[in-house]
């Protein structure tokens, strides 16, 4: 499982680096006379936003995969009770209690 966690950590680092790179991109370039003006049209901005959303989606998918793996481990663990969820106890009927009482399995005074 360590190999999977390492792969997930590497993917997360790559996603974070891409997010930082997208955030650092310049949206203005110098004009011929040296003054700056915005050259990013609406389409280019939409592309940048789409890239950011894709990166965020990838990060969310990685987190979902990780939580799913944890849930599977918990369900399939079976060797100890530490990772499992205990089954709720069903209420005892009067007939079952009277049968246990007749067999001497009930302690009246503790």
In whole angstroms, what separates CA 67 from the centre of its chain?
A: 4
Mean pLDDT of the chain: 76
What is the total count of domains within the chain? 1
pLDDT for the residue numbered 75: 77
pLDDT for the residue numbered 1: 52
Q: Is residue 81 part of a domain?
A: yes
Number of helices followed by number of strands (H, E) in the chain: 3, 2
Q: Is residue 14 part of a domain?
A: yes
Q: Is residue 110 part of a domain?
A: no
Q: Which residues of the chain have pLDDT under 50?
A: none
Q: Is residue 109 part of a domain?
A: no
Which helix (H) or strand (E) segment holds residue 76: the answer is: helix 42-76
Q: Is residue 107 part of a domain?
A: no
Written as six digits, the tokens of 8 are 């997930």
- What range does the domain containing 24 cover? 2-102
The CA distances from residue 76 to 64, 68, 91, in Å, are: 18, 12, 27
Looking at the chain, the whole-number percentage of residues with pLDDT higher than 90 is 25
């Amino acid at each position: 499982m360590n190999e999977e966690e390492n792969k997930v950590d590497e993917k997360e680092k790559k996603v974070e680096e891409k997010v930082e790179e997208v955030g650092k991109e310049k949206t203005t370039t110098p004009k011929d006379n040296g003054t700056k003006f915005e050259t990013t049209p609406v389409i280019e901005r939409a592309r940048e936003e789409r890239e950011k959303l894709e990166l965020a989606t990838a990060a969310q998918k990685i987190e979902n995969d990780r939580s799913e793996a944890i849930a599977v481990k918990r369900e399939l663990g079976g060797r100890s009770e530490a990772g499992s969820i205990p089954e709720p106890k069903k209420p005892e009927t009067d007939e079952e209690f009277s049968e246990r009482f007749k067999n001497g399995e009930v302690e009246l005074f503790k």
